[in-house]
Amino acid sequence: MSQTKLGCHGQNSRTHFVVSSVRAALILCAGWAVCSLDARAFSLLGPYAPWMDEAKSYRQFSDVGGPMRLTEEYRWNVPVVTYGFDVSFLKYFGSNGVAAVEGAIDLLNDLPPASQIDLKNYPPNVTRINHRAQAEDLFDLKSETLFLLLQHLGLAEPQRFTFCLRDSIQTNGGFADTVIQRNFNPATFQPSSNVNDSAFTLSVWHAAGRADASEVPVDQLKNVPASVADGVFNVGEFFVGLTPDDVGGLQYLYGTNNIQFETLPPGVRGVGTTTNAFVNGAFRRGVDKVTFVRHLADTLLGQFLPMMNQFVDTCVTNGNVATQQLERTVIQPDFLFTAADVPVGVPALPLSARTDTSTWINNAGSNGNAGENGPGNIEPPVTIDLITWKSLVTNSNDGGAVTYIQWFPTGQQRFYRVIPALQGAP
């Protein structure tokens, strides 16, 4: 009979309970609540740690990184990032596709600064269903975009990474598995086994050289709402906002109390009194809020134009706070949306593809975490390819109704039809 090591611990604890994997679910149902003070949690995204291999169900075809522990997070350290659309996107998706992407961006831009966020203002269930779209196997473009943007703001999938397989050793009796948690409560910052007011236990499986710690709802009869950071699971589903898990993760990442040693992205220079002597590498507070701005483009030439943004950078030295006036020049969009064909060599057909986390900068050594996996900076540019093989849909709220638009790629010709407005139902 295989064995599973189960951990209920803070970020530095190495305490584990060793139990039979057959009994793991029963023990966790009864005891894991001790470790969680609230039913909300978020996960953090970063470059893969060496132990995150395919045999433990990491590095899957749709993944771009792995789950980080607290203090190993990655984030942007400029208050404004730009986005744009290349010719392939504009030709394929048209103005309706642009509106869908910008609808997702508006949800993020409408968030208050991290220091002003009240998680009570965000409902745990933001998933709705359009039954017509469900019947026709359609996915929502706006919701897919929102999921991808959260990942490239530093959030991972909280439900998937509630329990993570850290190690698996074959024994005479089966397997000895070490399970850790990479899901954190936004109020206490302790590991949590809950997502959006739903409690999870685990089941470890082994098959064909692979293994995983799978999350199982404690209440099998309860509808388990997804966080936006988990993405849309089923056709016809769409998000109408962000959950406390999503917003809590952003609040942790970009809050002004989260101080890390960071370097500035390319294109930043000093202005005014700091023109010739600005500070690059330094301990910095979170920027409090990241705002998306559409990148200017020459529509006749189909080229992006240089953009400049001035901002006040805050550094912390020996407990003292100092500011400097900086200016960032951006030649190409930080986030570029494209329309792409089906990628080859993948076991399943994805909705999208995007830049992975391999170019993110690990500042662990400068933060006193030498040899660890973070914290660090998210580096531009990010390219988000929306796959053209799949019929994607976009919805917009107009008087409480939801309108879906479906694209049918037929050779070189593109056309669409509007599905009659349907009210989304929880």
Per-residue model confidence as pLDDT tens digits over 24-35: 333 333 333 333
Q: pLDDT above 90 covers what percent of the chain?
A: 59
CB 93 within 8 A of CB 303: no
Report the alpha-carbon distance of residue 33 to residue 52 in Å, rounded: 27
Chain-centre distance of CA 372, in angstroms? 21
Q: What is the DSSP letter of 409?
A: E
Residue 21: pLDDT band with limits 50, 70, 90: very low
* Predicted pLDDT at 343: 67
* Predicted pLDDT at 389: 62
Task: Kindly give, in sequence order, each residue whose CB lies less than 8 Å from that of residue 308, ignoring residues fewer than 6 positions away.
Answer: 327, 328, 329, 330
What is the value of pTM for the model shown?
A: 0.85
Residue 38: pLDDT band with limits 50, 70, 90: low
**Which segment, 102-116, 168-182, 208-222, is predicted with the most confidence on average?**
102-116
* Predicted pLDDT at 196: 82
Residue 17: pLDDT band with limits 50, 70, 90: very low
Token pair, residue 11, equals 């970020």
Mean pLDDT of the chain: 82
Residue 392: pLDDT band with limits 50, 70, 90: low
Report the alpha-carbon distance of residue 15 to residue 6 in Å, rounded: 9
- What pLDDT digit, counting tens, does each position of 275-304 carry? 888 999 999 999 999 999 999 998 777 799
* Predicted pLDDT at 39: 66
- Predicted confidence (pLDDT) at residue 204 exceeds the cutoff of 70: yes
- Predicted confidence (pLDDT) at residue 180 exceeds the cutoff of 90: yes
Strands 43-46, 66-68: pairing kind: antiparallel
* Predicted pLDDT at 29: 37
